[in-house]
Amino acid sequence: MANNFKNAFATSVSTSSGSPTNVYTANNGSAVNSILIELDVANTSSSAIQVSVVIYDSSGTASYHIVKNAPLPAGGALKVVSGQKVVLNGDDEVRVYASASDVDVVASILEDVA
């Protein structure tokens, strides 16, 4: 099977932990896995904010924080996933919320991993 690399993006993320922004859904509708290779968040505002990243496990309908309320200075960036890998099963989701919506998110993913 060929490698299938993909980028996923989000901007103006949710400010609610109850309804975070979905950045990526792993192989939507498929039982095939994806690997989250890198996840970067950037504060595009002129004020400091806090950002949280959650993995939603569709098989257990539960959410798990990778980082919660990480401080992000004005104009700053954070590599949330870098170096390690996060395996996402089919229909798992990467979600983000922050104390202000002025956040850009870039995710690098390897899809269709058997």
* pLDDT at residue 1, as a whole number: 58
Report the candidate in 11, 35, 15 with the shortest Cα–Cα distance to residue 23. 11
* pLDDT at residue 113, as a whole number: 85
Q: What is the pLDDT of residues 87-113, one digit of tens each?
A: 999 899 999 999 999 999 999 999 988
Q: Going by CATH, does the domain composed of 4-113 fall within 2.60.120.340?
A: yes
Dihedral sign, CA of 77, 80, 81, 86? negative
| pTM passes above 0.75 | yes
Alpha carbon distance 69, 72 (integer Å):
9
With contact defined as beta carbons under 8 Å apart, do 102 and 61 qualify?
no
